[in-house]
Structures are given as structure tokens and as C-alpha cells.
Chains A and B, each alone.
Chain A
Amino acid sequence: MSNLLAIFLGMALVNNMVLVKFLGLCPFFGVSKKLSSAFSMGIAVLLVMLVASGVTWPVYHLLLAPYGVEFMRTVIFILVIASLVQIIEMAIKRTNLTLYNAFGIYLPLITTNCAVLGITFINIDQTYSFLESLTAALGAGAGFTLVLIIMSGIRERLGLADPPKAFKGTPIAFITAMLLGLSFLAFNGMV
């Protein structure tokens, strides 16, 4: 149990997807202007990460590895993720339109989110068990959502601030990300 907790916290805080591993930067800067959309995007990514890890793990360990075709990993994983995103999108659209309007519109963007493909690679590279993979995905998704929410909160206020003209907009967002990253350094040594 403590092992799973360590993986969860490690993925969420110490090795944060966005701030340390630089994965999922496009949505991090693109969708972090408003708090509400940041939250929806975060939850959508968390969901896809969890399902993707749950599917790619057995695909790798039961299909690719036994037949010695590990080199097909990249192609298979991205196809699995792309189809999963499609299926989840259709399922949400049919069952719950309110939910679809809240999260669904972010789903197509997630296929090309490197954080999702990244976490499936990390699960394999770290030789995580099935349960550990799911925990890692949960942690990575939670960490992603957390920084996205923090970032959007800061950027909503930053809109009212008055930085030097050249820094307005994206440059100051990068500087904000740096300071956020520095504060996350404090989680080092926790696990």
C-alpha cells in the first residue's frame, strides 16, 4: 500500500508531468486562461490517462512482449489512445449531454497530448505492475489537473496585473510556470 502511495505522490508532485517532465505543455498553456475550462480539461486528461494505462499495459505485456514485437509499441499505443478517445467521446455524447458539453469538447485535443502517451511509456519503462500503472496514471492525471488549476487561477489574476509590455501574455506565463516549478521543488525528498 505504501508503495502505491509513493508512486501516486511521486507522479503527482515530485515528478509532475508538466513542471518536471515537460509533458502536456500545449494544453497547459493553451487551456489555462480560465479556471473552469482548466478543471474540465484536467479531469478529461485524468480519465483518458487512466483508461489508456488500463488498456496499454495488457496490450504490451500479453500481446507485444510474448511475441517479441516490442518495437511496435509506439504505433500500437498511439492507435489505442486515439481509438479510446473516440470511444469515450461517443459514449459521453450518447449518455450525458451536460457532461459532454463540460468535458467532451476537450477530448479530441487529448489524442495529441504527450502526457497521455508519456504515462503509458513510463508504465512500461518503470516495469510497473498493472495496479502500479493505474496508480501512476491516477497520480499523473491528478498532478496535471492540480497544476492546470493553479496556473489558471494565477493567470486569471495576471490578466489584471501590469507586467512590462514585452512580457505580456505568453512570456509572463512561462515565467509563472518557472516560479510554480520552483515551489514544487519543495516536494522533492517527500517520497
Chain B
Amino acid sequence: MTKKTNDFFPVIFLTLIVVVSVVALTLTNGITKDKIAIAKKEAISEMLATLFPEMEDFTLDEESGLYTPLTGGESLGHAFMATATGYGGTIDILIGLEPDATLRGIKIISQQETPGLGAKITEPFFLDQFQGLSAEQVVLAHNGGKIDAITGATTSSSAVVNAVKEAILKKLETLNKEGGRG
């Protein structure tokens, strides 16, 4: 047994372990950093491609969180994220706009709604209703709008509808302020 009785040995040993750990992690981080950045970019690109399949590349305005999908250098419209508070937690929604500010479509990125009921917001029959609408038309049918709520999941449906409408109106305001760029 080489267990030292020296008072400082435990401290030195622990420090040594921490130093080794920091070095090992820094090395790993160095190897994976670029990979993680690429993976993140690819994930965003894949996400945008579901709404803009003809997209070749995209730009991101870090400050406003506004994505601009591009094909051959031409802008296809805009995309941005919105957050709704649904029945079981937050719902992250990707919103795609045509250059004329009508809806290209929306996609649910993450949600924790009840399976079988609120979770149906991810299904095409609900999402497809948003295509081609202007922000003013994004209202549930029983409030005089164009979107039918999911049976048994009014909370989830209206959470999505309200969040989409508000997010578009807000984003259009800032876009217009900046002088209709894009």
C-alpha cells in the first residue's frame, strides 16, 4: 500500500486528476467542436428544407433569429421560430413565409402534448390548413377564421394558432421597419 499520510497528498492528487480531466476534455472538445457546429447547421438546414424543399443554402440573422432560405442566391422568403404554451408544455414551431408574406407552411419542431389528442398538431391534416394564409386569416374556425381545431384538443390547437399569428405580425413589423429587405 502506498497510501500517503502526508496532509497535502490528497489535495495534490485531486488537483492532478482535475488537470488530467481538463486536458482530456479540451482535446475532445477540439475534435468535436467543428463536427457539432456542422451537425447543428445541417439540422437547421434539414428543418428548413421541409418547408422550402428547393432550398440550396440559407443565411441566419443571429440577432432576430430570422432564416432566409436561398436558391441560386435568390431569397425564397423567410423562416423563423415561434413558441407556444400548449397543454403539456412549450411547443416550438417553425414558420415559413413566402416573399409576399403569406404562409408557406408551419412545422412543429418539438411538443409535449398528450399523445392521441394534442399531439395531433404535428399531423399534416392540421398543419396543411395554414398554407397560403395571411396572418389575419390564421384564426380558429369557431372564431370566424380558416383553421379547424383538432377534436378534443382545442387548447393545443388555439395555442399553435395564436402563437403563429402573433409571431408573424411581430416579425412583419420588424421586417417593414428595416425597409422591406429581402
- The residues of A with any CB-CB pair to B shorter than 8 Å are 10, 14-15, 69, 71-72, 75, 185, 188-189, 191
Contacts and interface: CB of A to CB of B under 8 A. Distances in A.
Nearest to B14: A79
6 contacts: A71-B25, A71-B29, A72-B22, A75-B25, A188-B88, A189-B88
B174 interface: no
A71 to B, nearest CB: 5
A185 B117 CA distance: 13
B155 A14 contact: no
A15 B88 CA distance: 8
A189 B87 CA distance: 4
A51 B44 CA distance: 36
B10 interface: no
B119 to A, nearest CB: 12
Interface in B81-121: 85, 87-89, 114
Contacts, number: 20
The A interface is mostly helix, strand or loop, or mixed, namely helix
Given A188-B114, A189-B155, A14 B25 contact: no
Contacts of A191: 85
Contacts of A15: 89
Contacts of A189: 87-88, 155
Nearest to B29: A71
B40 to A, nearest CB: 14
Contacts of A71: 25, 28-29
A160 B21 CA distance: 51
Contacts of A72: 22, 25
Interface string B21-38: 110010011000000000
The 8 A-B residue pairs with the shortest CB-CB distance, nearest first, are A189-B87, A71-B29, A188-B88, A188-B87, A189-B155, A71-B25, A75-B21, A72-B25
Nearest to A72: B25
Interface-centre pick from A10, A69, A71, A191 (highest chain B CB count, 10 A): A71
Nearest to B113: A188
A10 B112 CA distance: 13
Contacts of A14: 88-89
Given A188-B88, A188-B114, 15 more contacts: A10-B89, A14-B88, A14-B89, A15-B89, A69-B29, A71-B25, A71-B28, A72-B22, A72-B25, A75-B25, A185-B114, A188-B87, A189-B87, A189-B88, A191-B85
Contacts of B25: 71-72, 75
B81 to A, nearest CB: 13
Nearest to B22: A72
A10 B29 CA distance: 34
Contacts of B88: 14, 188-189
A129 to B, nearest CB: 16
Residue with the greatest number of chain B CB neighbours at <10 A, chosen from A15, A75, A185, A189? A189
